[in-house]
Amino acid sequence: MTPSPIHAYLADLHARHLRNTDGDVADYIPELKQVDPEQFGICVATRDGVVYEVGDTRQPFTIQSVSKPFTYGLALADNGEDRVLAKIGVEPSGDAFNAISLAPKTGAPMNPLINAGAIAACGLVHGEGIDGRLARILEAFGHFAGRTLDVDERVYASESATGHRNRAIGWMLRTFDVLPDEPTPTLETYFRQCSIRVTCRDLAIMGATLANGGVNPVTGRRAIAAGYVDNVLSVMATCGMYDFSGEWLYRTGLPAKSGVGGGILAVQPARLGIGVFSPRLDAHGNSVRGIAVCRELAADLGLHIFDVSRRPAPVMRLTTTRRTVASSRRRPRTAADYLHGVGNRLRLYHLQGALVFASVEPVIRELMERTATADAFIVNLRSVQSLDGAAARLLAHTQAALAERGKRLCLTEASSWWETLTDAGMPRDTFFGDDDFALEHCENALLAKRFPDEAWDRPVELAQCAMFVGLDDAALATLDAVLARRTWNAGQTIIAAGQHSDDLFVIMRGSAMVSIPTQEGVARLAVFTPGMTFGEVAFIDREARTANVTAIDEVECRVLTQAAFAQLELDAPGIKIRLLQNIARGLTAFLRQADTELAALR
């Protein structure tokens, strides 16, 4: 694959910051001191699971405090939000990582990202004994990283041998019953949790998993329930970098977490995960290069969550009416003229993107404002990427408000959102397979109101067909002898796509559907009823048929073959000229309609 400008940008960033040798590796335990201080990796993983990496991105190191938000997420999953909040606060403490910071009365740690809160969160993870709990933590972290992780036993031994301050915290938590039992097993689990080996690439993918609503975008497996992702990101945003959290959010605008192993994980919500690894630390215990790289990345790539200059694509992708887009049921002249005349009463919308309160609000406003002049609204959801409960409830309320005014809402291509919408109270008869069926339904309603007694699809005579306009009785009698007469039963194929048949068909009785096969089944392109012609394109250009034509009910056609048409040139050139003119006129009508639709879609 050709190297990407994004990779080139990251490589340049890496090369520039490689020169920065400020700071010192963590030295509170010998194992961390032995690390090569020059190691340096940068990795960006997108919500779609694309990974860009430069430098030492596959070098394992211990996760340390970057573990804290993930264990907190697991504690939430195991206990629910209320039980966890009763034990651990979510207030930034303004204090350093090792401050004990317990609330005066309850002894609840201020937040889960200081050591006290992290130990309390570890204590809330379900699991039998140290091994059982650690296994669950390893499994959860492994889902985030998308691979099996393990513990660096030497670092763990060292952490355990020197973790006296954390033992003091553990006993303080025991005092206040934040930890219900003797704290040693929890502490030993916690020490192992901090000693889990990850790579810079792992951190980026773990971040991308949070950005992606809890589903690992590389493996496609869920690592955490979507409902807890906002909790985890919120504490990272306010407390992720200890007493540097406020400035970090102000500068980078990214929820993040650092560890003394040299790792930093940052998340652009709904977009990206970032992992940086470089072991030299500043006085706060944060990777020097990591902080500098994240700040530069955030500025260069415009990642600040509060950069509100971006404007999403409007959720209304297409707005049009029945004047521009008709159902594929070809209507007799009277019906077609009437429907065209009242076309503005039937409105069609295509939505796209994320349907949330703010994006669906203009849609609802548009529909309610149009009730003065329109009777029916077709809303196509094919290009909708997500639809939340708030949007579903508002759409359901809008349907009800429209129905109260005698107006119709039809939702099309909405199968992905059917459950969310019906749960929100959307009636089942609001849903239609596609625009075409909804349009036909609404057109029929308009026609039934205007022509209550008209039966549209009655059998016709030759003289009533558009193809034979301008021919006198004698000419019609000539044609009657020339045209073959054929019938098909319901469901039978009249024309098959790909076939080199080149006859022309005029329907005398019944109706036929033109369709093409699609991935989902078939797409209906047109419905023809008595008096109408089909097959004229291949009749003229003798190219292969591009669509299937199938009898909907019993169909009778008069058929003009190429042989009969050739013979007409000798026997009755005037009739042949009239037929060619009528065919050409039919083609120009289709062409004008196609141009109108093309202009609307562009």
Rounded to a whole number of angstroms, the minimum distance from the CB of residue 81 to a copy of itself is 9
Give the interface size with a copy of itself as a residue count (CB under 8 A): 122
Q: Which of 42, 303, 346, 526 binds a copy of itself (CB under 8 A)?
A: 303
Q: Does 574 participate in binding a copy of itself (rule CB under 8 A)?
A: yes
Q: Which stretch binds a copy of itself (CB under 8 A): 15-23, 196-204, 330-338, 533-541?
A: 533-541
Q: Which of 38, 131, 388, 520 binds a copy of itself (CB under 8 A)?
A: 388
Nearer to a copy of itself by C-beta: 448 or 587? Answer: 587
d(CA 325, CA 298): 45
Q: Which stretch binds a copy of itself (CB under 8 A): 150-158, 225-233, 445-453, 503-511?
A: 225-233
d(CA 394, CA 579): 54
Nearer to a copy of itself by C-beta: 34 or 385? Answer: 385
Rounded to a whole number of angstroms, the minimum distance from the CB of residue 512 to a copy of itself is 18
Write the interaction track for a copy of itself spanning residues 329-368; mark x where CB under 8 A is met and - where it is not: -----------------------xxx-xxx--xx-xx--x
**156 labelled catalytic:** no
Q: Which of 134, 394, 471, 504 binds a copy of itself (CB under 8 A)?
A: 394
d(CA 124, CA 77): 10
Rounded to a whole number of angstroms, the minimum distance from the CB of residue 94 to a copy of itself is 5
Write the interaction track for a copy of itself spanning residues 29-48; mark x where CB under 8 A is met and - where it is not: -----------------xxx
Residue 458 C-beta-side C-alpha neighbours within 13 Å: 7
**242 labelled catalytic:** yes
State the catalytic residue, choosing from 25, 44, 52, 68.
Answer: 68
| Cβ atoms of 33 and 27 closer than 8 Å | yes
CA-only gyration radius of the chain, Å = 35
Q: 248 to 277, contacts with a copy of itself by CB under 8 A?
A: 249-250, 253, 255, 268-272
**158 labelled catalytic:** no
Q: Does 557 participate in binding a copy of itself (rule CB under 8 A)?
A: no
State the pairing for strand pair 521-528/533-534: unpaired
Rounded to a whole number of angstroms, the minimum distance from the CB of residue 103 to a copy of itself is 10
- Residue 263 has phi, psi (to 5 degrees) of -95, 145
Neighbouring residues of 57: CB distance < 8 A, sequence distance ≥ 6: 41, 42, 43, 199, 200, 201, 204, 275, 277
d(CA 302, CA 309): 10
Q: Which of 74, 121, 203, 210 binds a copy of itself (CB under 8 A)?
A: 210
Q: Which of 213, 262, 279, 530 binds a copy of itself (CB under 8 A)?
A: 213
Q: Which of 148, 309, 373, 519 binds a copy of itself (CB under 8 A)?
A: 309
d(CA 254, CA 268): 6
Rounded to a whole number of angstroms, the minimum distance from the CB of residue 294 to a copy of itself is 14
Q: 408 to 447, contacts with a copy of itself by CB under 8 A?
A: none
Rounded to a whole number of angstroms, the minimum distance from the CB of residue 406 to a copy of itself is 12
| Cβ atoms of 219 and 263 closer than 8 Å | no
Q: 66 to 95, contacts with a copy of itself by CB under 8 A?
A: 89-95
Rounded to a whole number of angstroms, the minimum distance from the CB of residue 516 to a copy of itself is 9
**260 labelled catalytic:** yes
In b/e form, how buried is each residue of 474-491, taking b as 16+ CB within 10 angstroms?
A: ebeebbeebbeeeebeee
Output DSSP code: residue 276. E
Nearer to a copy of itself by C-beta: 89 or 290? Answer: 89
**Which of helix, strand or coil describes residue 413?**
coil
Q: Does 305 participate in binding a copy of itself (rule CB under 8 A)?
A: yes
Rounded to a whole number of angstroms, the minimum distance from the CB of residue 168 to a copy of itself is 21
**234 labelled catalytic:** no
CB burial of residue 161 (10 Å; 0-12, 13-18, 19+) = exposed
Closest CA to 114 of 25, 249, 278, 244: 244
| Cβ atoms of 25 and 32 closer than 8 Å | yes
State the catalytic residue, choosing from 54, 198, 218, 260.
Answer: 260
- Residue 380 has phi, psi (to 5 degrees) of -95, 130
In b/e form, how buried is each residue of 301-322, taking b as 16+ CB within 10 angstroms?
A: eebbbeeeeeeeeebbbeebbb
> Where is 41: in which H helix or E strand?
strand 41-46
Write the interaction track for a copy of itself spanning residues 575-594; mark x where CB under 8 A is met and - where it is not: -xx--xx-xxx-xxxxxx-x
Nearer to a copy of itself by C-beta: 180 or 389? Answer: 389
**Which of helix, strand or coil describes residue 411?**
strand
Q: 108 to 147, contacts with a copy of itself by CB under 8 A?
A: 110-111
State the catalytic residue, choosing from 52, 72, 156, 190.
Answer: 190
Tell how far CA 599 is from the center of its chain: 27
**Which of helix, strand or coil describes residue 391?**
helix
Q: How many Cβ atoms from other residues are within 10 Å of residue 422's Cβ?
A: 15
Q: Which of 15, 135, 226, 490 binds a copy of itself (CB under 8 A)?
A: 226
Nearer to a copy of itself by C-beta: 11 or 157? Answer: 11
Q: Which of 38, 337, 472, 569 binds a copy of itself (CB under 8 A)?
A: 569
Rounded to a whole number of angstroms, the minimum distance from the CB of residue 397 to a copy of itself is 4
Rounded to a whole number of angstroms, the minimum distance from the CB of residue 440 to a copy of itself is 17
| Cβ atoms of 176 and 116 closer than 8 Å | no
Q: Does 474 participate in binding a copy of itself (rule CB under 8 A)?
A: no
Q: Which of 29, 233, 467, 514 binds a copy of itself (CB under 8 A)?
A: 233
State the catalytic residue, choosing from 242, 258, 288, 328.
Answer: 242
CB burial of residue 85 (10 Å; 0-12, 13-18, 19+) = middle
State the pairing for strand pair 346-355/376-387: parallel
Q: Which stretch binds a copy of itself (CB under 8 A): 116-124, 156-164, 170-178, 540-548?
A: 540-548
d(CA 277, CA 162): 24
Closest CA to 203 of 38, 89, 338, 70: 70
Q: Which stretch binds a copy of itself (CB under 8 A): 125-133, 174-182, 233-241, 464-472?
A: 233-241
Nearer to a copy of itself by C-beta: 35 or 368? Answer: 368
Closest CA to 170 of 188, 156, 152, 157: 188
Nearer to a copy of itself by C-beta: 239 or 281? Answer: 239
Q: Which of 312, 341, 425, 459 binds a copy of itself (CB under 8 A)?
A: 312
Active site residues: 65, 68, 190, 242, 260
